C-alpha cells in the first residue's frame, strides 16, 4: 500500500499550514430487515411503528444476525480492497435515551473488513481504509425547546426507535486527507462505490450516509500530527467542506494566539456555520467494550466471499474507464470532471446506453451531467430511447442547444418523448427556406450592420442571430442561421 | 385432607389427564387451592395466574375430549421463575425497577410448555435479577424453606424450588447462572437440572450473565426432570447461542443403570464441606459402586479458581445487561431535573443492594485500564477450567460432588456477609463457566435435618449419562423425608 502523497501547494488553505483529516462514514445498509430482528428497514414511517422486542432491547430479547447485512458488509469490504476475515461483535456501553439497551452492538477488536484503500478519481491519491465494520444504528432523538435542537436546555425529548437496529457499516479512513476538497472527493467517491456495490442507496439527505470528521492542523513540513477534534453531524458534502474549513481555521487561530487545541468532540451547527464543543477527552465515555455474549463469531467462508464478489456490479473506477473509452482521448479537464460527475451520480449507464444508440458521446455526457443531473430525482422519467432521440435531434440541428435543454427539462418532468415535448413547445425545426426568408428580412432591415458584417466584422453575427431568434420566437437554430449568414456574405 | 392429585409426579398427572381419569381443570384447581392456602407463609409465588391457568387447563381438557394429543405435560401444573417473560403478565425479576412492566411477548420455553399441555400456575420468587443464593434478595420479601420456615430455600430460584418441594406444582422452571437451580434444589430436597449451555433457548429469559445463564427444570423425581427438559430443549432460531445439534432421547435410557460407567469424585469440592454433606457424597458413591459403576477420586485443580473468575465475568456481563433499566422506556421512572438525574434516581430507587454491588463490580472490571487485569484474566481462567474438566472427562463419564457445601442455613445468617453467601455456590459455579450440564439429586438429610443434594456433572451434551447416574443415585438414596410445614 503506497504512502499518501505529500501535500501539494494547492492544498494549502492557510499559507504555512496543512490539514490532516480522517473520516468515519456511517453507511446504512439497504437490507429488507434490521440487523438483529425482522422489523422493516425503511425510512419515513410514523415514529415507533417499525419496532419489536428485539430492536427495543426489551428484557429477555436476543439478537440474531441478518445474513444479508453481512453480505452487504462484505460487498463494501471487497469494493474497498479490504481483507475480509472472521470477526466478532462487542458491546459499546454508554447511556443515551435513543439506545434501547444502553449499549450498542458493534465490532471493535476484529472487524469484518480491515486494511483496504480507496483511490481518489481526480488526484489519483490513495486513501487507506483502516476498517469497515458492522454495527447497529441507534434511535433518533428530537429535542424540543431550548436552542439548536440539542439536548442541553431542551424542555423535553422525543425518541423514535424505528431507526434502532438498522444495519450500519462504519468505514474508517486513515488520516490521509489533506484538504476539505479532498475530503469531499473521498466522500463522493465512497458514496459512488457504496451505491455501485449495491450496499447502500447513498442518500445523505435521508441520513443513509453520515460523516464524522477528525480534523487537526500542523505546520507544513511537520511529520507529527496535531491534536484532533472530531466533528459530528455532517450530513451533506457542503456541510463537510464548510465544517472542515471552519474547524481548521479555528485551530490555526488558536495556535497562533498561543493557545492549545483541546482534543474534543464538536458539533457542527449548520445555521451558524460554526463548530461547538460537545465533550472533551476528559469527559469522554469509557465504553467498557467487551465481547457480545449473545452473538457468535462471524466466519464467512472463502466460497461465500467469492460468490459475493461475483454479485458486485461494476465499480466506479471501472465505470469511468468504460466511459473514457467512448472518447478518443481524455486528459484531465472538463471531460474527466464530467465523467467523474456522471459516475458519481450514477448517470454513466444512461450515457453509455445513449451512445450505443448512436448519440454523440460529448453531447450525451454534457446533457447528462448538466440538465439530467440538476433534476436527478426525476431520472426514472427518462428512458434511454427518449434521451438518445433528443441528443440526435440536437446533433442534427433539429433543435437548438437552448431548445434541447428546455425539452430535456420538460422530458424529465413529464416523462414524455422529445418529439412530443418539442412540438408542444413549438420547437419544431424551421424549414430551411423559411429560415432563409427570416434572415433576408433581418438583412434588409439592418443594411448598415449587414455592410459591416460583409466587410468582416464577425462579431456582428450575434446581432443577426438575435434578430432572427426574435422574429422566429426562438425557434431558429443559431448554427443554421450562422451558416446562412456566411453563405450570403460570400 | 390431602387432595387427590397433589403430590403426584408430572408423568402420573399427565397419564391421568390423557386417560380422562381426571380433568386438567381439577388438577389445576386442586393445586391452586393449596397454593392459596399455604403460600402466604412460604412466599414462593409472586403472582398466581389463576384465570389463565384454568383457561389453559380447559384447553387441555377440550383436546382430550376431541381425541387430540394434549402433549406430554397434559394438565401438569408448572411454576415459572419470574425472570421468564410472559405476555400480558407482569414479569418482575423480583425487582422494583420493572414495576408495572407487562411484556408484549412470551419466552420460548414457556411457549413450549404450554404447547406440551403444561398449565402455568404463576410466577415464582427469586433473588433480584437472579443475583443471590437464598432468595432473600427479593424486593418482595424472602421465600422460606418448606421444611423449616426459619431457613432459606436457597437461590436464586428459591421460589420455584420451594413451590415444587411444597407440592404446589410437580414441575417448575428456574435459571442457573452459577448454581441458581442446583443449589436451591439441594436445599429443598428436590431434583434440579442445569442443561448444557445452548441446549435450552434463552429467548425470553431476562439476562443476568448471558454467557452463563441457562434455563432448567425442577421436579421431585429425576424422571420428571428429564421429561420437562425433553420438552424445553432444542434449537431456537431466536437465540444465536442455541445449539443446532438435535436433542437426544433423555428418557428411554434413564433406567439403564450405571454398570461400567466411570464416575469421578471431585477432590477439590469435597474439601471443607459440612461433615454430613461429605458423608452423604461418600454414601452416594458407595451406592453407585454397588450398582456397578467404577468410582474414584479425581483432581480437577482449576475448579478452585471458579468463584473468583465467576465474580468478575458474571458482574461484568450483568453491568451491561442491566443498563437498559434506566427509567426511559418501561418500569420504574423517578424523574429528575435532567436526563442524568433521571437515570440515577430511577436506578438508585429501583435496584436493591446486591444488584448495585454487582453492577459496580462489573463496571469496574470492564473499565479501561482494568479490563486485562480483571475481565481478560477471568476469561483465561475460564479456559483453564474448561481444559481441567476436559482432562477429567478423558478418564470419567461423569463427575460427582456435593451441590452445596452446607444444608439450608437460617434466614439472615449470611445476609450481612456477601462473601460467605457467594461461597455457597462454590461447587456449582465451575460448571457454568465450562458451559457443561450438571444436576442436583436429593440424598437424605444432613445438618439440622435438612436435605442434602448430590451434584452430578457431565461434559457438554452429556445429559443422557448424567440422568442415568442421577436416577441411580435417586434409587440408592435414603428413603427418609422430612415433613413439610403444612403436613
Write the pLDDT tens digit of every residue in A359-379: 999 999 999 999 999 999 999
Q: What is the pLDDT of residues B466-484, one digit of tens each?
A: 999 999 999 999 988 899 9
A239 and A128 part of one domain: yes
Q: Considering only CA atoms, which of A446, A417, A432, A435 is closest in space to residue A473?
A: A435
> Across the interface, do A60 and B84 touch by the CB < 8 Å criterion?
yes
CA distances from B463 to B163, B258, B284 (A): 25, 14, 19
Q: What are the two backbone dihedrals, phi and then psi, of residue B105, each rounded to the nearest 5 degrees?
A: -150, 170
Would you state the pLDDT for residue A387?
Answer: 95
Answer whether residue A5 is part of any domain: no
Mean pLDDT, residues B166-195 taken together: 98
A249 and A132 part of one domain: yes
Q: Which residue has the higher pLDDT, B301 or A477?
A: B301
Set of chain A residues whose Cβ sits within 8 Å of the Cβ of B368:
286, 288
Nearest residue, CB atoms, A53 vs list B105, B366, B367: B105
Would you state the pLDDT for residue A147?
Answer: 63
The span from the CA of A467 to the CA of A431, in Å, is: 17
Would you state the pLDDT for residue B373?
Answer: 94
Q: Which residue has the higher pLDDT, A310 or A457?
A: A310
Look at residue B235 and give its three-state secondary structure: coil
Set of chain B residues whose Cβ sits within 8 Å of the Cβ of A60:
83-85, 91, 103, 105, 107, 203-207
Is A6's pLDDT higher than 50?
no
> Across the interface, do B105 and A58 touch by the CB < 8 Å criterion?
yes
Would you state the pLDDT for residue A12?
Answer: 61
- pLDDT confidence bin for A434, thresholds 50/70/90: confident
The answer for A 431-460 residues in CB contact with B (under 8 A) is none
Locate the chain A residue with the closest alpha carbon to B313.
Answer: A290
Answer whether residue A3 is part of any domain: no
User: For all residues of chain B together, what is the average pLDDT?
Assistant: 97
Look at residue A322 and give its three-state secondary structure: helix
Is A32's pLDDT higher than 70?
yes
Would you state the pLDDT for residue A148?
Answer: 62
> Across the interface, do B368 and A57 touch by the CB < 8 Å criterion?
no
Is residue A156 less than 8 Å (CB to CB) from chain B?
Answer: no
User: A252-261, A464-473, B295-304: which has the minimum mean pLDDT?
Assistant: A464-473
pTM: 0.89
Mean pLDDT, residues B450-458 taken together: 98
Would you state the pLDDT for residue A8?
Answer: 46
Strand partners, B401: B455
Would you state the pLDDT for residue A2?
Answer: 42
User: What percent of chain B clears pLDDT 70, i.e. is strictly above it?
Assistant: 99
Distance from CA of B107 to the nearest CA of A (A): 8
Count of domains in chain A? 3
Would you state the pLDDT for residue A194?
Answer: 96
Answer whether residue A61 is part of any domain: yes
Is residue A97 less than 8 Å (CB to CB) from chain B?
Answer: yes
Q: What angle do CA B32, B37, B42 make, to 5 degrees?
A: 100
The answer for B 102-121 residues in CB contact with A (under 8 A) is 103-105, 107
Q: Which of B63, B81, B112, B123 is catalytic?
A: B81
Would you state the pLDDT for residue A282?
Answer: 66
Answer whether residue A206 is part of any domain: yes
User: What percent of chain A clears pLDDT 90, i.e. is strictly above it?
Assistant: 67
Q: Is B81 a catalytic residue?
A: yes
> Across the interface, do A93 and B366 touch by the CB < 8 Å criterion?
yes
> Across the interface, do A293 and B326 touch by the CB < 8 Å criterion?
no
Q: Is B180 a catalytic residue?
A: yes
- pLDDT confidence bin for B151, thresholds 50/70/90: very high
Would you state the pLDDT for residue A10?
Answer: 46
> b/e string for A166-199 if b means 16 or more Cβ within 10 A?
bbbbbbbbbbbbbbbbbbbbbbbbbbbbbbbbbb
Level-2 CATH architecture, domain B10-307+376-476: Alpha-Beta Complex (3.90)
Locate the chain B residue with the closest alpha carbon to A157.
Answer: B339
A306 and A326 part of one domain: no
Instruction: Using the structure block, give the residue that is written with the C-alpha cell 464530467.
Output: A338
- Contact A408/A486 with Cβ under 8 angstroms? no
Contacts of B80 (CB under 8 A, 6+ apart): B86, B110, B120, B122, B123, B124, B160, B172, B173
Would you state the pLDDT for residue A7?
Answer: 44
The span from the CA of B320 to the CA of B302, in Å, is: 27
Give the best residue of B324, B327, B345, B355 to mutate against chain A (max A CB count within 10 A).
B324
Set of chain A residues whose Cβ sits within 8 Å of the Cβ of B329:
56, 100
Q: What is the pLDDT of residues A202-241, one digit of tens each?
A: 988 888 999 999 999 999 999 999 999 999 979 999 999 9
Nearest residue, CB atoms, B240 vs list A59, A101, A295: A295
A320 and A445 part of one domain: no
Domain range for residue A112? 12-310
Output DSSP code: residue B129. Answer: G
Is residue B345 less than 8 Å (CB to CB) from chain A?
Answer: no
Please classify residue A15 by burial: count the beta carbons closer than 10 Å to its beta carbon, then call 0-12 exposed, 13-18 middle and 19+ buried: exposed
Distance from CA of A290 to the nearest CA of B (A): 7
CATH of the domain at A481: 1.10.10
Distance from CA of B233 to the nearest CA of A (A): 17
Q: Considering only CA atoms, which of A29, A27, A52, A53 is closest in space to residue A41?
A: A29
Nearest residue, CB atoms, B241 vs list A157, A289, A294: A294
A290 and A362 part of one domain: no
How many other C-beta atoms are found inside a 10 Å radius of the C-beta of residue B334?
15
Q: What is the pLDDT of residues B8-29, one digit of tens each?
A: 999 999 999 999 999 999 999 9
Would you state the pLDDT for residue A345?
Answer: 87
Q: What is the pLDDT of residues B113-131, one digit of tens each?
A: 999 999 999 999 999 999 9
Establish, for the pair of chains A and B, how many residue pairs have beta carbons separated by less than 8 Å.
99
Cell of A342: 456522471
> Across the interface, do B103 and A102 touch by the CB < 8 Å criterion?
no
User: For all residues of chain A together, what is the average pLDDT?
Assistant: 90
Answer whether residue A4 is part of any domain: no
A457 and A415 part of one domain: no
> Across the interface, do B240 and A151 touch by the CB < 8 Å criterion?
no
User: A5-9, A55-59, B197-201, B402-406: which has the minimum mean pLDDT?
Assistant: A5-9
Give the best residue of B319, B332, B366 to mutate against chain A (max A CB count within 10 A).
B366
User: A473-482, B102-111, B196-205: which has the minimum mean pLDDT?
Assistant: A473-482
Give the strand pairing for B45-48 and B119-124. Answer: antiparallel
Q: Which residue has the higher pLDDT, A447 or B192?
A: B192
- Contact B229/B216 with Cβ under 8 angstroms? yes
User: A264-273, B176-185, B443-452: which has the minimum mean pLDDT?
Assistant: A264-273
A382 and A459 part of one domain: no
A241 and A114 part of one domain: yes
Would you state the pLDDT for residue B346?
Answer: 98
Residue spans per domain, chain B: 10-307+376-476
Q: Is B156 a catalytic residue?
A: yes
Q: What is the pLDDT of residues B30-71, one digit of tens each?
A: 999 999 999 999 999 999 999 999 999 999 999 999 999 999
Would you state the pLDDT for residue A280?
Answer: 73
The answer for A 268-307 residues in CB contact with B (under 8 A) is 286, 288-290, 293-296
Would you state the pLDDT for residue A13?
Answer: 76
Cell of A188: 463522493
A298 and A330 part of one domain: no
Pseudo-torsion of CA A393, A394, A400, A403, nearest 10°?
Answer: 80
Strand partners, A234: A211
Q: Which of B139, B156, B160, B201 is catalytic?
A: B156
Would you state the pLDDT for residue B370?
Answer: 92
Is residue A56 less than 8 Å (CB to CB) from chain B?
Answer: yes
Would you state the pLDDT for residue B340?
Answer: 92
Question: What is the phi-psi region of residue B100: left when phi exceeds 0, alpha when psi lies from -120 to 50, beta otherwise?
Answer: left
Answer whether residue A220 is part of any domain: yes
Is B1's pLDDT higher than 60?
no
A259 and A183 part of one domain: yes
- Contact A19/A178 with Cβ under 8 angstroms? yes
- Contact A187/A202 with Cβ under 8 angstroms? no
Strand partners, A83: A114
Rounded to the nearest 10 degrees, the angle between the axes of helix B463-476 and helix B275-290 is 100
Alpha carbon A175 to chain centroid, angstroms: 20
- pLDDT confidence bin for B135, thresholds 50/70/90: very high
A64 and A151 part of one domain: yes
The answer for B 165-204 residues in CB contact with A (under 8 A) is 202-204
Is A94's pLDDT higher than 70?
yes
Distance from CA of A48 to the nearest CA of B (A): 12
Please report the ipTM that was assigned to this predicted complex: 0.96
Would you state the pLDDT for residue A457?
Answer: 85
User: A273-277, B217-221, B396-400: which has the minimum mean pLDDT?
Assistant: A273-277
Instruction: Using the structure block, give the residue that is written with the C-alpha cell 432591415.
Output: A445
> Across the interface, do A60 and B368 touch by the CB < 8 Å criterion?
no
Assign 3-class secondary structure to A136-192. Answer: ECCCEEEEECCCCCCCCCCCEEEEEHHHCCCEEEEEEECCCECCHHHHHHHHHHHHH
Q: What is the pLDDT of residues A133-165, one digit of tens each?
A: 999 999 999 988 876 667 777 788 899 999 999
The span from the CA of B57 to the CA of B120, in Å, is: 9
Distance from CA of A142 to the nearest CA of B (A): 14
Give the best residue of B328, B346, B379 to mutate against chain A (max A CB count within 10 A).
B328
Nearest residue, CB atoms, A288 vs list B210, B328, B363: B363
Set of chain A residues whose Cβ sits within 8 Å of the Cβ of B103:
53, 58-60
User: B92-96, B341-345, B366-370, B448-452: which has the minimum mean pLDDT?
Assistant: B366-370
Mean pLDDT, residues A421-427 taken together: 84
Look at the alpha carbons of B279, B283, B288, B294 in this order and tell me if their dihedral is positive or negative: positive
Is A474's pLDDT higher than 90?
no
Q: Which of B23, B56, B180, B477 is catalytic?
A: B180
> Across the interface, do A60 and B343 touch by the CB < 8 Å criterion?
no
> Across the interface, do A62 and B239 touch by the CB < 8 Å criterion?
yes
Look at residue A118 and give its three-state secondary structure: strand
Amino acid at each position: 500500500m503506497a504512502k499518501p502523497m505529500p501535500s501539494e501547494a494547492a492544498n494549502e488553505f492557510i499559507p504555512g499550514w496543512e490539514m490532516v483529516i480522517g473520516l468515519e462514514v456511517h453507511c446504512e445498509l439497504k437490507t429488507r430487515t434490521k440487523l438483529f430482528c425482522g422489523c422493516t428497514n425503511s425510512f419515513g414511517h410514523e415514529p415507533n411503528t417499525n419496532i419489536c422486542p428485539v430492536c427495543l432491547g426489551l428484557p429477555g430479547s436476543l439478537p440474531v444476525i441478518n445474513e444479508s447485512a453481512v453480505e452487504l458488509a462484505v460487498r463494501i469490504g471487497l469494493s474497498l480492497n479490504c481483507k475480509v476475515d472472521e470477526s466478532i461483535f462487542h458491546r459499546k456501553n454508554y447511556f443515551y435515551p435513543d439506545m434501547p439497551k444502553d449499549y450498542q452492538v458493534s465490532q471493535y477488536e476484529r472487524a469484518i473488513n480491515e486494511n483496504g484503500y480507496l483511490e481518489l478519481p481526480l488526484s489519483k491519491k490513495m486513501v487507506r481504509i483502516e476498517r469497515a465494520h458492522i454495527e447497529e444504528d441507534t434511535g433518533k432523538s428530537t429535542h424540543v425547546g431550548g436552542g439548536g435542537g440539542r439536548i442541553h436546555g431542551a424542555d423535553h425529548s422525543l425518541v423514535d426507535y424505528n431507526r434502532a437496529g438498522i444495519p450500519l457499516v462504519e468505514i474508517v479512513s486513515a488520516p490521509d486527507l489533506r484538504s476539505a476538497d479532498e475530503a469531499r472527493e473521498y466522500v463522493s467517491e465512497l458514496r459512488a462505490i457504496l451505491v455501485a456495490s449495491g450496499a447502500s442507496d447513498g442518500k445523505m439527505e435521508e441520513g443513509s450516509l453520515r460523516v464524522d470528521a477528525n480534523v487537526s492542523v500542523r505546520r507544513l513540513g511537520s511529520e507529527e500530527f496535531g491534536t484532533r477534534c472530531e466533528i459530528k453531524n455532517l450530513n451533506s458534502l457542503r456541510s463537510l467542506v464548510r465544517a472542515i474549513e471552519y474547524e481548521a481555521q479555528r485551530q490555526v487561530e488558536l495556535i497562533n494566539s498561543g493557545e492549545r487545541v483541546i482534543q474534543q468532540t464538536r458539533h457542527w451547527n449548520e445555521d451558524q456555520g460554526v463548530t461547538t464543543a460537545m465533550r472533551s477527552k476528559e469527559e469522554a465515555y469509557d465504553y467498557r467494550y467487551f465481547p457480545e455474549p449473545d452473538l457468535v463469531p462471524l466466519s464467512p467462508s472463502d466460497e461465500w466471499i467469492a460468490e459475493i464478489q461475483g454479485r458486485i456490479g461494476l465499480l466506479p473506477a471501472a465505470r469511468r474507464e468504460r466511459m473514457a473509452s467512448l472518447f478518443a482521448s481524455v486528459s484531465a479537464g472538463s471531460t474527466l470532471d464530467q465523467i467523474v460527475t456522471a459516475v458519481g451520480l450514477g448517470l454513466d449507464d444512461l450515457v453509455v446506453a445513449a451512445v450505443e444508440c448512436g448519440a454523440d458521446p460529448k453531447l450525451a455526457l454534457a446533457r447528462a451531467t448538466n440538465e439530467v443531473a440538476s433534476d436527478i430525482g426525476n431520472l426514472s422519467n427518462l428512458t434511454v430511447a427518449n434521451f438518445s432521440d433528443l441528443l440526435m435531434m440536437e446533433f442534427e440541428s433539429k433543435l437548438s442547444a437552448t431548445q434541447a435543454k428546455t425539452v430535456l427539462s420538460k422530458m424529465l418532468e413529464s416523462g414524455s418523448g422529445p418529439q412530443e415535448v418539442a412540438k408542444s413547445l413549438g420547437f419544431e425545426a424551421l424549414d430551411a427556406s423559411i429560415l432563409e426568408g427570416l434572415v433576408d428580412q433581418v438583412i434588409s432591415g439592418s443594411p448598415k450592420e449587414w455592410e459591416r458584417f460583409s466587410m468582416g466584422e464577425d462579431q456582428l453575427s450575434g446581432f443577426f442571430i438575435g434578430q432572427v431568434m426574435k422574429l422566429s420566437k426562438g425557434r431558429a437554430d443559431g448554427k443554421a442561421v450562422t451558416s446562412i449568414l456566411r453563405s450570403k456574405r460570400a | 385432607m390431602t387432595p387427590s392429585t397433589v403430590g403426584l409426579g408430572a408423568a402420573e398427572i399427565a397419564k391421568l389427564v390423557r386417560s380422562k381419569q381426571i380433568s386438567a381443570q381439577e388438577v389445576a384447581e386442586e393445586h391452586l387451592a393449596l397454593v392459596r392456602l399455604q403460600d402466604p407463609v412460604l412466599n414462593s409465588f409472586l403472582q398466581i395466574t389463576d384465570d389463565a391457568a384454568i383457561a389453559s387447563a380447559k384447553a387441555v381438557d377440550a383436546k382430550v375430549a376431541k381425541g387430540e394429543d394434549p402433549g406430554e405435560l397434559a394438565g401438569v401444573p408448572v411454576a415459572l421463575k419470574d425472570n421468564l417473560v410472559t405476555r400480558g403478565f407482569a414479569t418482575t425479576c423480583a425487582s422494583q425497577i420493572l414495576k408495572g412492566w407487562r411484556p408484549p411477548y412470551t419466552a420460548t420455553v414457556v411457549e413450549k410448555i404450554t404447547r406440551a399441555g403444561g398449565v402455568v400456575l404463576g410466577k415464582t420468587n427469586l433473588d433480584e435479577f437472579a443475583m443471590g443464593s437464598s432468595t432473600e434478595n427479593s424486593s418482595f420479601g424472602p421465600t422460606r424453606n418448606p421444611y423449616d420456615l426459619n431457613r432459606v430455600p436457597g437461590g436464586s430460584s428459591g421460589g420455584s424450588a420451594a413451590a415444587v418441594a411444597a407440592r404446589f406444582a410437580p414441575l417448575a422452571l428456574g435459571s442457573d447462572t452459577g448454581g441458581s437451580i442446583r443449589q436451591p434444589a439441594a436445599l429443598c430436597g428436590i431434583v434440579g437440572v442445569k442443561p448444557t449451555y445452548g441446549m435450552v433457548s434463552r429467548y425470553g429469559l431476562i439476562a443476568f450473565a448471558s454467557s452463563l445463564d441457562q434455563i432448567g427444570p425442577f421436579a421431585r423425581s429425576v424422571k420428571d426432570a428429564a421429561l420437562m427438559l425433553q420438552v424445553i430443549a432444542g434449537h431456537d432460531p431466536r437465540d444465536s447461542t442455541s445449539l443446532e445439534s438435535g436433542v437426544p432421547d433423555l428418557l428411554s435410557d434413564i433406567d439403564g443403570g450405571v454398570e461400567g460407567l466411570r464416575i469421578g469424585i471431585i477432590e477439590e469440592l469435597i474439601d471443607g464441606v459440612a461433615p454430613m454433606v461429605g458423608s452423604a457424597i461418600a454414601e452416594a458413591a458407595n451406592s453407585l459402586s454397588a450398582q456397578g459403576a467404577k468410582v474414584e477420586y479425581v483432581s480437577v485443580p482449576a475448579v478452585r479458581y471458579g468463584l473468583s473468575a465467576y465474580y468478575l465475568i458474571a458482574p461484568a456481563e450483568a453491568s451491561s445487561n442491566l443498563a437498559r433499566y434506566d427509567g426511559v422506556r418501561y418500569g420504574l421512572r423517578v424523574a429528575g431535573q435532567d436526563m442524568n438525574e433521571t437515570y440515577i434516581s430511577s436506578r438508585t430507587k429501583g435496584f436493591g443492594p446486591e444488584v448495585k454491588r454487582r453492577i459496580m463490580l462489573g463496571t469496574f472490571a470492564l473499565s479501561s485500564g482494568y479490563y486485562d487485569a480483571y475481565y481478560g484474566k477471568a476469561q483465561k481462567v475460564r479456559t483453564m477450567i474448561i481444559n481441567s474438566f476436559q482432562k477429567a472427562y478423558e478418564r470419567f463419564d461423569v463427575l460427582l460432588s456435593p451441590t452445596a457445601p452446607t444444608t439450608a442455613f437460617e434466614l439472615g445468617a449470611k445476609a450481612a456477609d456477601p462473601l460467605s453467601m457467594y461461597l455457597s455456590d462454590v461447587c456449582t459455579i465451575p460448571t457454568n463457566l465450562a458451559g457443561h450440564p450438571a444436576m442436583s439429586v436429593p440424598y437424605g438429610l444432613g445438618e439440622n435435618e435438612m436435605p442434602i443434594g448430590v451434584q452430578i456433572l457431565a461434559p457438554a451434551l452429556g445429559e443422557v449419562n448424567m440422568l442415568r447416574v442421577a436416577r441411580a443415585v435417586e434409587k440408592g438414596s435414603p428413603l427418609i423425608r422430612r415433613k413439610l410445614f403444612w403436613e
